[in-house]
Structure 1
Amino acid sequence: MAVWPRTGKRRRAAKTAEPKPEPKSRTSTRLAQLKAVLLQLKPDVGSVFMAFKMTIAPLVCMCLIQSNVWINHFKTNGYLVALIANLALPFLPRGTLVLFNVRLALMTGVSYCYVLLAGWCGLQARKHTTHSPEQLKAYNSSAEAVVAIWLIFCVWLIFSLKSAYPSLFNLLSVGGIFAVATLPGLARAPTMKDVISQASNVVESFLAGQAFGFFVGIVILPRSGRDEFRQTFKGCLDGLVGVVRAHERCMDVFKARPPDYVPPSPTSMGDDADERAAAATKLQEALKGFTQGVIKARAAAGHAKLEMSFGRLDHGELEKMVSGLVDLVPPASGLFAVADMLKGAIDGSLQAAMASEAKRRRGTNATVDRQDEEEGDEEEQERETLDWHQHEEAILQHLHNISEAIVSGVEHAKLRFHLTDNKLKLPFVHRTKEDSSSPESFLESFRSVLQNECVVGQGEKLMDHYIRHRPKLEDLCIVRTEEQLDYVRYVLLLHSQTLLSSLSSEFEGLLILGEDYHREPPRLIIPPLGHVNWRSLFRLNRRATDDSGVELGAGFRKKDPDHLPPVNAFEKVGNYVRLIPAALRSEHAAYGLRGACAIMTIAIIGFLKSSQTFFFRQRLIWSLFAIVMSLGRTAGNSTFLLFSRTMGTIASMVASYIIWYIVDQKVAVLKFPLYGSAVFVALFTAIIMICNDLQIKKIGAAKLESQYSIYPPYVNFPYRLAIVLLGVVVAYFWTIFPFPMSEHGQLRQEVASSLNLLSNYYSCISQAVLSRLQGSFGDPRDEASPGFYILAARRRIFRKFQTVNTAARSNLSLVDWEFSLGGHFPKHNYTEILSLLDRIASYMSLTGYASRAFQGMSDTSAWCFVDEDDVTRSNLLIEGVTTRMVVLHSALSRAHPLPPQLQELTRAQMPEFSRETRSEGLAAAALIHGVNSYIVRDINRLTQLVKDLVSELDFTVTIETDSEIPLTPARNSRPST
């Protein structure tokens, strides 16, 4: 039972119980935080090797500056070779490294063609505005203006694409660096031969640096994408075991106490509460680790698909394995939701029990007859307690059996996927003649466990207990008595059983895939580079029309309120033309405009006659590199980048002093630090500083004085630091000017998108429940059945919700870096909203998994009826959830008030059942009906939080001298909720 006593004997035992000694002092909070930071900063072997590989190519390129052939060819552009060698990302896995460098070479080629075109246009403007050949070498404002326009358009396009496609950040940064490194100088070229010479020297520097980086990545300590996928996949399986074990620990901590349990004194109640909180926290951490492992596995699978190998897994099987891991996330997330609900119920019951006990102790003047009567009632309660304890132990045993089956299945999967070499540590089913046993032997035993243990509501005694002791008011959110706590325990334990059975069912797909993998012979696998499955582009439309009889609703297609669907070819072409102005008015184009303004703030100095010489002599072009790399999209992110890059450049300056002077300026023994900085701008600054002085020392200061300003190293390093910081500060300025692109608005939009996705998700869940009740769901493995499309839409929406919710939490963490004027940002409200959205998604997943028991049922009259419009209604679904979520989404995304008089959501009451009721699927219906309490509670709380943010339309007039005079709206004008 609960921790607090209920019977007279246990009460008297509680009076004489000795208080527990005070707990030992724990580690201070600051020391624990310091340990956590050091633990996160501790590099592993892979990180050390990747950092080492990152330093090899720039180091070799810097040493080559001392070669006469090298310096005579690249001249003062030798630092670009070392810079691009680092941007070739030699630490990537082989397949991804090849693909990235192919794209990088293509980007360099496109940039080269672009600057040649810009240089040709500038040269034509110079010729058309010059009257004699002698004036071609003089300053020409028309040529400078034309090249500046080309630079503005190039930078705008690059920053716009950076915003729209963040995954192309490095490729687009290389294109931006090429443009700003070449175009200012091409504006002064008097002939096309000079234009080609300058641009060719830069493109050769880029390609040479890329070649060094690519060679290091392929030859020195190469990384295999398939090996990394195997490691991450094994880590996901271990994470799944951790989630199952942590859940089992939670159920052990949260279970009811035996009848003969002597409770501790009230002063030690906090220890039990801490134990429950620690168990729930451990489960949450295990679930977080498992989810992050799945994300890493998806990324590793993308790398593995690009590699040519001799093995068993092709790109299709890799996708199936990753999809199987992703399908494990929803039921695993539901396990934490169940543990959190059970913890809240126990804590609420303890508070109520402590209050009732205090009240009982104050009433010490009761008569002896009343005490005797209480003794009789307590004996009956004691028998019921023993009966419930036996029932709970039976459910926990079922959960334990399912958990052990999953753990054994994980070990079997490791063996089948060849993820372990030590067979002595495998479970007993593999210790004897594993290779000669039948492949289906373990699957059959696994399925038998599922059939025996994963039946919701099994056992006549458990169902009898539910029917007899189900409270009249089934509000699971408010637990005041131990009888209600018993009911909550029963419902949540069955939820755990449902989720574990769903988890094991999803995991069975991985086991089947493992058997197929084990039987297939190794073969040569060629990556499908450039291959497009054209049939897949039309498969959804073809299957959803005449063949299957399944018609997707309007929610699956986005509609334009300003245009009807096109009916002819001209209107279809017009739709594509409309994409151009839509792109120009997007936030990505606005970000590109900010980038162009930031670049031209400094680049304009290089196009004006009076300041052009200063621009080139002082190498202000390096500040343009810093802008390309450090311009952030939002104010908070830019503030964080400003701080980190400033610290990084200062550290690089200090490192440059050490590198240059530790060897007494003897370049023959030049050293390069293994760890320059964690951010690229720090390494970029160090490379520029060192390479610049190496080039000056090799070419000679006398030859370069006519082109650049020459300073000694102890002056040059701080000066170049100031130039780089100038670019960082200018980038930050154009992030917050003329108005800041705030994390606040982006966070609000992402939270609103999460609300919209949850409304779609609940629509899929509701349709799945109704389809299963009506018997029209079909086989979800058949692509022609409605169930296939419903589950496919559910998976797609859930993955989008996870992506948007993760991005929202990332922006929430950056809010503290943003300087906010006026009132404080309501961070607490958004934090609670994100937590509520996570819980609501878990509850909705619970409903979907519990409804599997309705598949193929014949009698659903207990919770399903047909209304006057001949529409099937169900007491298991909550009316108005989708509408409420859409209303909240609209109000939050557009920052307008909520409609007036929004009523709180309520759930439909299930009918009363007699003890002889044996309706099919009753336990699953009870589970869904029970979890609706939590959905209703959290959505009502969500409505209140959104109302606090955007307010509500209030049609009242307040007179200062008297009370309010409400303007009552018409009866039929109240909005539907």
Structure 2
Amino acid sequence: MADNNSNHRKVDPATRSDSNNDVAADGAVEAPVAAKDKPSGVAAILAKLGLEPTVLILQFKGSLPPIIGIAMYQSDAVSKQFATLGYLIPIISVLGLAILPRGKFLQNMVLNVFAICLGGAVAMLALWSAVQARIHTTPAGQSPIDPATKSIRYNSSQSAVCGVWLFFGIWFVNMCRAKFPSFNVPVILFSILINVASTFGTRMPTVVYARNFVQQLLTAMLTGMALATVVSLFVIPISSRMVVTKEFQGAIGLMRKIVGLQSKYLVGLEELDMFTVATRQAKDEAEEERERSKRRHKKGKKGEKDGKTETPLSREEATAKELREVVAQCRELMGKIQMDITFAKREVAWGKLSARELGELAKLIRNTTIPIVGMTSIMDIFQRVAERRGWNTTAADPEVVAEKNLEKTVWNEVMKRMHEPFQLLSEAIDEGLQHAALQLEITPRPKAAKKSGKDADVEARGDTLQPGDVGFTKVVDEKLEKFRALKGVALRAWVKERALLRGEITEVSEEELRERDQAQLYVLLYMERLMYASAQGMKDLVNFSDMQVADGTMSKNRLIFPSQRRLRKWFLSIFDGDKSASEDSPDMIETGANIVYVGDGYNRKKDPEHLPPANAWERFGNGLRKFSRFFGSQESVFGFRVACATMTIGIIALLEHTQVFFVEQRLVWAMIMVAIGMTMTSGQSIFGFFCRVGGTLMAMIFCYIIWYIVDEKTPGVIVFLWFSIFCDFYLLVKFPRFIQACMIMMVTQVMIIGYELQVRKVGVMAATATGQPYYATYKLAPYRVATVAGGCFVAFIWTIFPSPMTDRTWLRRDLSATLYLLANYFSVINSTMQSQFDDTGGNPNVRGTPASHLQSIRRKIFGKVMLLLPSMRQHADWQKWEPTIGGKFPRATYEDIIKRSTRIMSYLTYMSYTMNHPLEHHEHGAPDTGKKAVVTIQPNQSQLLDQQQPSSEYATPSNEAPTADPDSHRAWINALRNVLKEISPSHHNIVSTLTLLSNALLSGQSLPPFLPLPRPYEMTRALLRLESKKSSPSSSSSIDEADMSPLVLVDSRTGRPVDERQANPGMGLGGHHILDPDNMEQPGYAEFAVLEICSTLICDDLEGLVKDVGKLVGVVDFSYTVDGRSGSTLMGDGHERGKGKVD
């Protein structure tokens, strides 16, 4: 089977089980099908447990290496070779993680082998130096054997040397583990080796004895890794390409489901109140969040709560809820694709698509997903409108209800007109995605259609082309043409309903009505632009699939090797996670002669206490300062904590009177538990403590069953041990959150059963020669539980002592970093937009140009934010395990900040996508005529306005002739350029506010009482001011300056705008000007609407962030109130203000 083919059973992604593991990322590309009969009997049980073929394969693969290690030790040759260290072979094979995809496993295997070899070298050096210390401190002629006890004499110098090496080794490797997450498992293996060698090395009399011990230990660990490697590569091999292919399958299936649900949702809005649906859905989500925090209540209270009657969701509300859930699944899956595609491109594979083609496929799927997911933001838009106009309350104000009903009527009519074009679009996207998936063999063809194209009887099907058939692209193109022919229908309906609405509303001013009209127009253009972008993304994917079939790429498999450049970047990525170079960037083709000056955002972070070095001596000084930063870093402190925790137990092995106790009670495994269980944060440590102790208790129970249910017979014990490990891997695959408990459970079972079988093989006398007494299983299992619990407890103590690093602190720091990255992301987008309007960026596909630099930085920031978002969710979950000392943790506020930050990132992504993916051709039907119009773009115009430029090399050029008016086109472009320059200060205020909020969260410093933020639709106001100055310079004086200001003061305590003069926000929106609907055929008008909608949504969430952060850090406010009268010297109301900082 080809690596990039996937012939597994199809699974509906909406109902599949947890897919957080690396392999079981099943998903379907099939559209939702009719409900089937529910399975019964064994099939129902398997479906309930989620025992799919992929899960069973992973369970089988994972259980093989330790069982092979246990079984092979029953051979006389193997037991003679490894003696009393044979039980390490199955333990190391478990830690080898044979279930990982090939790319990830090979990286892990190389690092594990390197760590084992490095640990062996360090252990040999430590033991050699310890033996030398014994030799140099032992009196001449004295035997190392004590004749009275017949044991090795105690030597304090040897023990001290072993202790020093142990402390240094544990500190160094754990510092590396904190710095480089890829070293997690290798550090555990290194720690096992150095712990065992250093504690047993205190009693080694000669170098020969030490060398034999280290050689035996090293061989046992390498043998365990070899077992894991053989099973991973040769027993049902699973490549990273197979994983990515299944993720592609799931992403395509989720996109098809999103389009179907979106169509169903819009149909429901043809009759219902969309504002009520959106508001009800938002309230339900908030209620769900509150319910999650109250799940630990007593059952009695739960019963009382269950007795309450709740209003059932309507069909549209249920659809909206399901749509949000599927969108969340799609975003999570796209994040996994972004991480896994790197490994898929790096590994040696037997498949069809090359590494570059695989990366291009991932890019095309991502470009299709963004606008499809973006269309679902219409729910958020309706919710914001309802909130701003007070329609989200149950108050029955007749005027408010009448106003709401009139606007609802407009949107109902618009949704009716949008039904037919969206239905055509959804059918085209659904069939196009299915066709591309079949062409690229992402999904298997139906059994009836598995014949080749030559043998397929098309005539027998009535000349009906199906997805996957040759020429089906024409069917998709025909539907897209029908969709384009209906363009402008919704806009014409809006114009008609708007005219009727104006005659019925008398309470609202003309200016405010025009502002609302403009906002409605933007929403329609926003939806239309995303609909066209979705169709274009799908068409690019279909063209890519047809191209791969046409050039023979999909005709046969071939051996694919990664390039040297890719392997070099793979190696560097292990040690540098922030490498920002793009693997898809082409080589330098051409260079310009212009000198480009870049801002500070391109440079490294500055040192506020030192200027940049100006000479060799200052550069040498900077190098020396790195040592102090290195030893004072958080990673070094964490390594020091782990070393102290290890020595807390290890000191027992270094003292004369407790050395025998350490060996007899097997406390070395308590030290190993410290290395495995030590974490940087207290919440994760507490969670891990309960997981490890619980896993060990379960392992003890399973060991009793395994050992005694078969009357201690070796064959039966091995079989039952395999079945137990097989079941343990089910928990690991299906519930990856409890991976710590699962790993400890398996390691403990293998350790106990393996030791008992080892003693049975080599004999009790040989087993006790090391000083460890023999215990039967019913005694050994509790000893293991005690040592594991003791080690985990010591690790927990050193996590919180002398001062804890809490998950709440990490969550706050991650939020600060996220807001700072969002500020950078917005700044990069703003610079990209400016360079596109000014035509100074150059070609983004040519390395060295400003546009290429901006694109690289944009991708780097996006990748960092995508890594921070799951990190914040993890810390938000782990902080629940931390005990609250003092006031309660403001969990709801932090969760709201996370939610708003995630939404801002989504809106920025839509803005970036809109600017960097222009449509193939830009045709707007005028709302009054419905005629098509296209425009002529000069070759040197910006990418945003160059609508004739395809969005990718797979796009089909438009065949329509340009017919637009050049003068009108030039005026529109110049207006956009001028308005961008005028609103630059307001855009900078968004960056400034995000940066200020980031610093406030990081430092805990209070916010200023008022923050300037851009008003909603500020670009629109700037265009109106520009038009007003040209048409009527004298009238500008009559316009309120507060309304025309690009900024608005926002109260840091409430997050609400402050407007003392109560200026009419709609003033200046009257008359015919450049923003009239008649100009919708101008290039960039729809893109302008997308930017306005996204900017407005960002500003809304930014106001909420100001309010939330103000609650956390307080506000600089020294106002006071006397007898209800404000004595504040600051602007605003003095109500509920205290003296000094407001908390």
Which residues of 2 match residues 227-626 of structure 1 at below 5 A? 227-256=242-271, 274-343=314-383, 345=385, 351=391, 355-356=395-396, 390-419=413-442, 420-422=444-446, 432=465, 437=470, 441=474, 448=481, 462=494, 491-518=522-549, 519-521=551-553, 522=556, 523-528=558-563, 531-532=567-568, 546=592, 551-561=597-607, 562-566=609-613, 575-626=622-673
> Residues 354, 896 of structure 1: CA spacing in aligned structure 2 closer, same or farther, 3 A cutoff?
closer
Q: Does 1:929 align with 2:952?
A: no
Output the CA distance in 1 between the equivalents of 2:476 and 2:977.
40
Which secondary structure does the structure 2 equivalent of 1:198 belong to?
helix
- Select the residue among 673, 683, 690 that pairs with 1:636: 683
> Residues 402, 300 of structure 1: CA spacing in aligned structure 2 closer, same or farther, 3 A cutoff?
same
For residues 200-259 of structure 1, the C-alpha deviation after alignment (integer angstroms, 9 at most, x for no partner) is: 110111112122222222333222333333222111111111222222222222335599
CA contact (8 A) 1:243 1:287 kept: yes
Q: Give the Å deviation of 1:827.
A: 0.4
> Residues 751, 525 of structure 1: CA spacing in aligned structure 2 closer, same or farther, 3 A cutoff?
same
Alignment partner, residue 9 of structure 1 = none
- Select the residue among 97, 103, 115 that pairs with 1:107: 115
Q: Does 1:655 align with 2:702?
A: yes
The structure with the largest helix share of the pair is 1
CA contact (8 A) 1:864 1:875 kept: no
Alignment partner, residue 5 of structure 1 = none
AA paired with 2:261? A
Which secondary structure does the structure 2 equivalent of 1:891 belong to?
helix
Alignment partner, residue 675 of structure 1 = 727
- Select the residue among 996, 1002, 1005 that pairs with 1:893: 1002
Alignment partner, residue 724 of structure 1 = 788
CA contact (8 A) 1:463 1:923 kept: no
AA paired with 1:691? G
Alignment partner, residue 92 of structure 1 = 100
Which residues of 2 match residues 758-907 of structure 1 at below 5 A? 758-776=822-840, 780-781=844-845, 786-849=850-913, 855-856=945-946, 857-860=969-972, 864=976, 866=978, 872-874=981-983, 878=987, 880-903=989-1012, 905-907=1014-1016
Q: Does 1:951 align with 2:1114?
A: yes
Q: Give the Å deviation of 1:528.
A: 3.8
* Structure 2: tracts of 5 or more residues without a match: 1-44, 145-151, 275-309, 451-457, 573-580, 733-741, 923-943, 947-968, 1025-1068, 1132-1143
Residue identity (%): 24
Q: Give the Å deviation of 1:609.
A: 0.9
Output the CA distance in 1 between the equivalents of 2:586 and 2:775.
67
Alignment partner, residue 205 of structure 1 = 220
For residues 623-642 of structure 1, the C-alpha deviation after alignment (integer angstroms, 9 at most, x for no partner) is: 12222211122111111111
CA contact (8 A) 1:160 1:588 kept: yes
Between 1:754-763 and 1:416-425, the stretch displaced more is: 416-425
Alignment partner, residue 1036 of structure 2 = none
> Residues 739, 683 of structure 1: CA spacing in aligned structure 2 closer, same or farther, 3 A cutoff?
same
Alpha-carbon RMSD: 4.2
AA paired with 2:121? C
Output the CA distance in 1 between the equivalents of 2:521 and 2:393.
19
For residues 506-536 of structure 1, the C-alpha deviation after alignment (integer angstroms, 9 at most, x for no partner) is: 4444334323432244432123477337998
* Structure 1: tracts of 5 or more residues without a match: 1-36, 260-269, 362-373, 970-977
Output the CA distance in 2 between the equivalents of 1:724 and 1:885.
46
Output the CA distance in 2 between the equivalents of 1:258 and 1:582.
60
AA paired with 1:405? A
> Residues 227, 547 of structure 1: CA spacing in aligned structure 2 closer, same or farther, 3 A cutoff?
farther
Output the CA distance in 1 between the equivalents of 2:1002 and 2:727.
44
Which secondary structure does the structure 1 equivalent of 2:727 belong to?
coil
AA paired with 2:321? T
> Residues 319, 581 of structure 1: CA spacing in aligned structure 2 closer, same or farther, 3 A cutoff?
farther
CA contact (8 A) 1:751 1:834 kept: yes
Output the CA distance in 1 between the equivalents of 2:483 and 2:182.
42
Output the CA distance in 1 between the equivalents of 2:498 and 2:599.
39
Output the CA distance in 2 between the equivalents of 1:538 and 1:302.
11
Alignment partner, residue 33 of structure 1 = none
> Residues 862, 388 of structure 1: CA spacing in aligned structure 2 closer, same or farther, 3 A cutoff?
farther
CA contact (8 A) 2:158 2:202 kept: yes
Between 1:493-502 and 1:388-397, the stretch displaced more is: 388-397
- Select the residue among 129, 132, 138 that pairs with 2:137: 129
For residues 656-713 of structure 1, the C-alpha deviation after alignment (integer angstroms, 9 at most, x for no partner) is: 1111111112224323123246411111111111122222333333454451122332
Alignment partner, residue 366 of structure 1 = none
For residues 75-122 of structure 1, the C-alpha deviation after alignment (integer angstroms, 9 at most, x for no partner) is: 221110110111222222345434432332222111111111111221
AA paired with 2:534? L
Output the CA distance in 2 between the equivalents of 1:947 and 1:310.
56
Output the CA distance in 1 between the equivalents of 2:908 and 2:502.
23
Q: Give the Å deviation of 1:942.
A: 0.9
Output the CA distance in 1 between the equivalents of 2:906 and 2:997.
19
Q: Give the Å deviation of 1:604.
A: 1.0
> Residues 752, 832 of structure 1: CA spacing in aligned structure 2 closer, same or farther, 3 A cutoff?
same
Output the CA distance in 2 between the equivalents of 1:163 and 1:814.
18
CA contact (8 A) 1:775 1:855 kept: no
Alignment partner, residue 18 of structure 2 = none
CA contact (8 A) 2:99 2:232 kept: yes
Between 1:211-220 and 1:297-306, the stretch displaced more is: 297-306
> Residues 538, 650 of structure 1: CA spacing in aligned structure 2 closer, same or farther, 3 A cutoff?
closer
AA paired with 2:55? S
For residues 923-955 of structure 1, the C-alpha deviation after alignment (integer angstroms, 9 at most, x for no partner) is: 544454344443322211210110110011223
CA contact (8 A) 2:590 2:846 kept: no
> Residues 694, 258 of structure 1: CA spacing in aligned structure 2 closer, same or farther, 3 A cutoff?
closer
For residues 709-763 of structure 1, the C-alpha deviation after alignment (integer angstroms, 9 at most, x for no partner) is: 2233222221221112111111111111112110111000111111111111222
Between 1:398-407 and 1:855-864, the stretch displaced more is: 855-864
AA paired with 1:501? Y
For residues 806-844 of structure 1, the C-alpha deviation after alignment (integer angstroms, 9 at most, x for no partner) is: 211121111111112111110000111111112222333
Residues paired across the two proteins, number: 897
> Residues 489, 360 of structure 1: CA spacing in aligned structure 2 closer, same or farther, 3 A cutoff?
closer
Output the CA distance in 1 between the equivalents of 2:477 and 2:158.
78
For residues 167-201 of structure 1, the C-alpha deviation after alignment (integer angstroms, 9 at most, x for no partner) is: 32112211111111212112322211111011011
Output the CA distance in 2 between the equivalents of 1:353 and 1:753.
36
Which secondary structure does the structure 2 equivalent of 1:824 belong to?
coil
Output the CA distance in 1 between the equivalents of 2:502 and 2:992.
31
Which secondary structure does the structure 1 equivalent of 2:559 belong to?
strand
Alignment partner, residue 688 of structure 1 = 751
Output the CA distance in 2 between the equivalents of 1:544 and 1:429.
54
Which secondary structure does the structure 2 equivalent of 1:524 belong to?
strand
Q: Give the Å deviation of 1:298.
A: 3.7
TM-score, normalised by the number of residues in structure 2? 0.71
Output the CA distance in 2 between the equivalents of 1:633 and 1:222.
35
Output the CA distance in 1 between the equivalents of 2:462 and 2:847.
35
